[in-house]
Amino acid sequence: MAPDLLYFRGREARLRDPLISDATDYTFGIDHPFHQARYTQSSLETTRVQVFGAAGMGEAFAWDEVPLLGERLRQVHDLNQDTLAKAQGHAADLVRTLDIQSTSGELQAPPNCGQELYDVVEITDSRAGLTSAKRRVASLELELNRGTGQKYIQRISLSDL
């Protein structure tokens, strides 16, 4: 019910509020090349969200998608939303979550030991037509390739900001 992301550093659990305005933490493509990349962009499942709470209804739209997709309505009944402001905020959070999930991808690169979950990375990939495209790190995986030369590969799953 909140946009915060939970991650762990050592023995501490921390929250991070993912904002579109977050600064870039790392750059791939020029100084840090990568082996492979895949980028996807899909349409939103929902373009209009209505949240019905104890005090009334909050509503939010994905205005950029409405002319392309028409109205795709999702209704949520949540009596925990006991004020109109909470219902409105929850509807906006749901639209933002859908927007974030519509953009994804994966990078396979030499390991970056400072890369953390939910960091913002910029990607420059001339083959895909991307220049300083910002994405958020959704997951990290380190793999030892035991083939010729035994090298580590870092797989980074990406989402939108």
- Residue 1 reports pLDDT greater than 70: no
pLDDT at 18: 81
More confident residue, 100 or 60: 60
Question: pTM here?
Answer: 0.73
The domain defined by 5-41+104-159 carries CATH number 2.60.40: no
Q: Do β-strands 151-159 and 130-145 pair in parallel, antiparallel, or remain unpaired? A: antiparallel
Please, what's the b/e burial string for 88-103 (b: 16 or more CB within 10 A of its CB; e: otherwise)?
Answer: bbbbbbbbbebbbebb
32 CB-near residues (< 8 Å, 6+ apart)? 26, 109, 110, 112
> pLDDT tens digits for 113-136?
888 888 999 999 988 888 889 999
Matching residue, tokens 């083939």: 147
- Residue 145 reports pLDDT greater than 60: yes
- Residue 53 reports pLDDT greater than 80: yes
* Whether 105 contacts 160, CB under 8 Å: no
* Whether 135 contacts 155, CB under 8 Å: no
CA 22 to chain centre: 12
- Residue 70 reports pLDDT greater than 80: yes
Instruction: Tell me if residue 91 falls in helix, strand or coil.
Output: helix
Range 152-161 average pLDDT: 90
